[in-house]
Amino acid sequence: MTISVILVAAGSGERLGSSRPKAFVDLAGRTLLEHSLQAVTGLSPVPQVVVVAPEAWVGPAQELARGVLGDDAEISVVAGGATRTESARRGLAAISQDSDVVLIHDAARALTPTEVFSRVIDAVHSGAKGVTPTLDVVDTMVPRDRATGETSAAIDRDGLAITQTPQGFDASALREAFAAFDGDATDDAEVLRASGVAVVAVEGHRDAVKVTYLHDLEVLRARISPANANIFAGVGIDVHRFEDGESLVVGGMTFDGAKGLAGHSDGDVVLHAITDALLGAASLGDLGTHFGSSRPEYAGVSSTVFLYQALRMMREAGYEPQSVAVQFIGNEPRLGAVREQMGKQLSEMVGAPVHVSATTTDGLGLTGRGEGAGAVAHALVVRH
């Protein structure tokens, strides 16, 4: 049998509060349409696909479908109609005439797994003219008067089911049903029933949530993304040599009676390491990229300037710092007496907890010989 899949993706997204059509709203880095198409790739062979999109989005829909299904797939994109039924009708007119089985799927049910498609196809292959995935009703159902709010006795939910998509059909029976149908139906199985043809149920899936409101989208985002999916880590390392005539600045604090750290700015290795770690976690380059020695305007400035500008860039890119751990490496200055105060001040500057520690290298290397000092920082940021 030859199979065609119609993806109805012409919804406006108005109830989502989106400026984009619903199928083109983002879900974890991909549009709802792309997620819906991904389930189709699990079918073998990949069937003909017809996407029904808003007229102004036919081009983008074609590009997205090609990106998911590949250059060898048979893909058509047609403009949708004013109603759900008219959009399905236009999709049906675009499928191959030799198709024996037609599946019609709402792109708004973006996480419907391939196994549901397969169950529907198998049921049509077994002789059913119409098939719909369903779920048992678990809540108590009551009739309600919309005008008064008054409810009536509960309906026996054992005789009820929640319908989902994809719904599958014998192509000839579906064409005949649409030809005879006048009006709008909430789904395509209802069109077939109106022609007197039975529709049978197969097991649906709890992941096949239909996105209608913003809450539905948030539910899917929580389902598809692990709790830590939007947390990113960065590491920053900085080393400077000591130099006479410079003020010693570490962690934004000035230490009297000690050689300073040489650098294009004030040589604050702690702030440099923190800034590098934050920029790296947000994939925004590094200290040298934005504030390097080729930038004369930054000569001799306080390293707090670098930190605040990095934080501004991060937030503009949608990132927020969560925590920072920084370790100063060197013989001087001794941070024990001010470590807690430094951590508090840095936490206020970063807007997130900053833990400060210090160590030496037991006489090894330039820090051990007292020729310079360094710092290593680790940062966690979250992307909103």
Which domains does the chain show, CATH number per domain? 3-224 (3.90.550.10), 231-383 (3.30.1330.50)
> What pLDDT does 361 receive?
94
β-pairing, 30-31 vs 248-250, is: unpaired
pLDDT 10s digits, 69-81: 999 999 999 999 9
> What pLDDT does 296 receive?
79
> What pLDDT does 229 receive?
65
> What pLDDT does 248 receive?
93
* This prediction's pTM: 0.63
Ranges 78-87, 231-240, 250-259, 338-347: which has the least confidence: 250-259
> What pLDDT does 259 receive?
87
> What pLDDT does 245 receive?
76
> What pLDDT does 211 receive?
94
CA 290 to CA 229: how far, in whole Å? 27
β-pairing, 167-170 vs 101-106, is: antiparallel
Average pLDDT over every residue of 320-336: 94
Distances (CA, A) of 45 to 73, 123, 307, 322: 10, 17, 54, 46
Tell me: pLDDT of 226 over 80. no
- Is 370 in contact with 241 (CB distance < 8 Å)? no
- Looking from the CA of 229 toward its CB, the CA atoms found within 13 Å total 11
Average pLDDT over every residue of 5-12: 94
CB 363: neighbour CB atoms within 10 A? 10
- Map tokens 């060898």 to a residue: 72
Mean per-residue pLDDT of the chain: 93
Supply the Cα-derived Rg of the chain in whole angstroms: 31
Ranges 157-161, 209-213, 242-246: which has the least confidence: 242-246
Coil, helix or strand for 184? coil
Cβ-Cβ contacts under 8 Å for 139 (sequence gap 6 or more)? 157
> What pLDDT does 228 receive?
64
DSSP state of 47: P
> What pLDDT does 293 receive?
75
Q: Where are the beta strands (DSSP E) in the chain?
A: 3-8, 26-27, 30-31, 48-53, 75-79, 101-106, 130-136, 161-163, 167-170, 200-203, 231-243, 248-250, 253-255, 260-261, 319-329, 354-359, 372-383
